[in-house]
Amino acid sequence: MNTPDQTSDVALWVFGYGSLVWNPGFPFVRRELATLPGYHRSFCMRSIHHRGTVDAPGLVLALDPRPDAACSGVAFGVAPAAVEQTLFDLRERELVSSAYLEMRLDVRLDHGPEVSALTYVVDPDHGQYCGGLPLDEQAAIIARAHGGRGPNADYLIHTASHLSQLGLEDPELDWLVARVLELTDVNRTADH
């Protein structure tokens, strides 16, 4: 990670905690490990576009409010010239079904100050919200779901792998990866 000695080249910070960590989809001039207090990363949103369908929803990560929690992730610093296009691209990607709320929240950079970052938080009143699902149920959904951006299992595996590479361990995601791999192996064996 870069250690910023100043942030004058950054006009917008974006906090990533799921697929944005490994596939931001926008240009950035800074990339810092960061922590968002008061939220936890959770498979609490049904995906009917990217990782599932209306008939067979998958699950994607979202930030779920929890006062005693803190979510580790990555803060991306966007240069002034790229802000408008970045906002357009992020809104097209993240607000496709209005299940996320676009918010500016304070995140703590690991090697720098606290900054206000654009963050996508689940709307607990939206029909796609499904907080509190048992891990076994999450694994079963993720193992079978497939959407416009591919298998739900790939989303889980890529996210857990990239968080681990950054030193951001998430035991729940690690457990889900192991269980989903078991389930998909069982399904492949049963198909032959």
pLDDT higher at 97 or 54 = 54
pLDDT value at residue 154: 96
pLDDT value at residue 7: 53
Give the list of residues 6+ apart from residue 98 with CB closer than 8 angstroms, or none. 123, 126
Whether 92 shows a pLDDT value over 90: the answer reads: yes
Query: In Å, how far from its chain's centre is CA 136?
Result: 20
Q: Of 67, 43, 63, which is closest to residue 123 (Cα–Cα)?
A: 63
Strands 114-122 and 30-47: unpaired
* Separation between Cα atoms, residue 117 and residue 129, nearest integer Å: 23
State the DSSP string of 35-78: EEEEEEEEEEEEESSSSS-SSS-EEEEEEEEEEEEEEEEEEEEE
Whether 186 shows a pLDDT value over 90: the answer reads: no
Residue 97 pLDDT grade (very low, low, confident, very high; cuts 50, 70, 90): confident
Average pLDDT on 171-182 reads 96
Average pLDDT on 43-50 reads 94
The alpha-helical segments, DSSP class H, found in the chain are 19-22, 83-94, 135-144, 152-165, 171-191
Catalytic residue numbers, as ranges: 94
* Separation between Cα atoms, residue 84 and residue 67, nearest integer Å: 32
pLDDT value at residue 98: 87
pLDDT value at residue 90: 96
Whether 136 shows a pLDDT value over 70: the answer reads: yes
pLDDT value at residue 113: 92
Domain ranges of the chain: 12-185
Query: Is residue 35 a contact partner of residue 108, using CB atoms and an 8 Å limit?
Result: yes
Which CATH number describes the domain made up of 12-185?
3.10.490.10
**Distance set, CA 185 to CA 134, 148, 172 (Å):** 21, 22, 20
pLDDT value at residue 185: 81
Q: Of 76, 83, 90, 89, which is closest to residue 29 (Cα–Cα)?
A: 76
pLDDT value at residue 187: 53
